[in-house]
Chain A
Amino acid sequence: MNWSQVGPYTADNALLGLLPPLIGLVIALPLGVVCARFRWFYAPVLSLTTLIYAIPSLALFVVLIDYTGLSNETVIIPLALFSLCVLVPNVVDGLRAVPQPVRQAATAMGFGPMRRLVRVELPLAVPVIIAGLRIAVVSSISLASVGQLIGVSSLGYFIVDGFQRDFSEEIYVGIVLIIVLALVCDLLLVGTRRLATPWSRR
């Protein structure tokens, strides 16, 4: 195998693993805020995201080829949709776990609903939201390798190539690189949580 390919494929895989959860977060934040505010809205949203999650990745990639061709979007869109299944419940749970006295204190200090959400409730929900983001990122990095079956490049290349040439060392390299990439991104997220929640450090 050609070691010079490791860099580009790792970069491709990192993009396919990190971008979808971030897109998912951009959708899940407003959706979660609305769901936490209006309880009746949460059940249907939850059913829908779980339903999407039940769709096999390969099937969804294939459906999208018709619209986006063999581009990165064909993998990024399904993975972003999958990430909603963990992100939306975590945003909602995180917001709901904010203690009522904290909300009341914020209101008493003259915070309006919007400022209270942005300055008090969302920061307090950060640990739970990042816990969801960790699951979404690790799963996306691992699932992105399936995109290789429809020809979207990722570290899955080494797995598929190793299989076609019956070269198990190359398959090991692919698997290990994917796991290492996932764990590095996971550590980065843990670091982000520590930076974003200075009050939880002792």
Chain B
Amino acid sequence: MSFISFAWGWLKAPAQWHGPDDIPARILQQLGYSGLSLLIAALIALPLGIWIGHTGRGGVVVVNVANAWRAIPTLGLLVLMVTLIGFGVGAWLIPLVVLAVPPILVNAYEGVAGVDPDLKDAAKGMGMTDVQVIRKVELPVALPLIMLGLRTGAIFVVATATIAAYIGNGGLGLYILSGLSQSNYAEVAGGAVLVVLLALVVQVIFTVLRFLVVPAPLRIQARSDG
């Protein structure tokens, strides 16, 4: 396994762990980009998805637009942003937000739209207002799918923040790209291993988070993936 030994050799070299541009700094960079993008995407997609799911109008449009949306190549969008607005925060932020919106939106919509109509009727019968129905009934029931959407969005963003190194914003992808351009295979291997580990950690965090916020009786149906 030359790949693993290369990666290990590179990872344990002290040069990677000292200075302002060391591995922990790069990891924080990548997490910072990803966290901010995910937050903005959630602020756009969650209210929209919940509202469309609640009213039941525009659902077909959401699902189809989201499917076509996947065709947008993130690499192309990144590069285009640089030529349009230059190297800055927006150049990596906009493509990552664009990437994270569809899974969050579709899952929030499907979660809320899929709430048993009898439940909603009962809630209204008890005198709940629209906002109360959303807050006390639809949101808790839709939570497994909402969390699934957030997790999918987070994984997309963390993984793709790697490509963002191509437009020169650092992060872990820079190890892969600079290693490739200098034929420094150990650096490429080390960078790839770090990215994979980070993606796995994010996935575990979201799995635990979903377990914590989803009410116990709903956990069983949270199994299915999408």
A interface residue numbers (CB < 8 A to B): 43, 46, 50-51, 53-60, 62-63, 66, 85-86, 89, 93, 134-135, 138-139, 141-143, 145-146, 148-150, 155-156, 159-160, 162-163, 166, 168, 171-172, 174-175, 178-179, 182-183, 186
Contacts and interface: CB of A to CB of B under 8 A. Distances in A.
A172 B80 contact: yes
Contact of A138 (B71, B192, B196, B225): B71
Contacts of A155: 73
A179 B69 CA distance: 9
Contacts of A182: 68, 70-71
Given A138-B67, A141-B71, A171-B76, A58 B162 contact: yes
Q: State the majority secondary structure of interface residues on A.
A: helix
A183 B192 contact: no
Interface in B47-97: 67-68, 70-77, 79-80, 82-84
Nearest to B74: A142
A168 B79 CA distance: 9
A159 B76 contact: yes
A46 B223 CA distance: 9
Interface stretch (B12-20, B118-126, B197-205): B197-205
A162 B203 contact: no
Contacts of B83: 162-163, 166, 168, 171
Contacts of B77: 175
Contact of A51 (B162, B176, B191, B203): B203
Top 3 closest pairs, chain A to chain B, by CB? A182-B71, A56-B159, A175-B76
Contacts of A59: 159, 162, 176, 191-193, 195-196
Interface residues of B, number: 44
B200 A146 contact: no
B76 A178 contact: yes
A174 B203 CA distance: 32
B189 interface: yes
Contact of B195 (A43, A56, A174): A56
Contacts of A56: 158-160, 162-163, 173, 195-196, 199
Contacts of B189: 62-63, 66
A43 B83 CA distance: 45
B79 A183 contact: no
B84 A175 contact: no
B23 interface: no
B70 A139 contact: yes
Given A43-B223, A54-B155, A166-B83, A149 B177 contact: yes
Given A55-B159, A59-B192, A138-B70, A156 B199 contact: no
B16 to A, nearest CB: 17
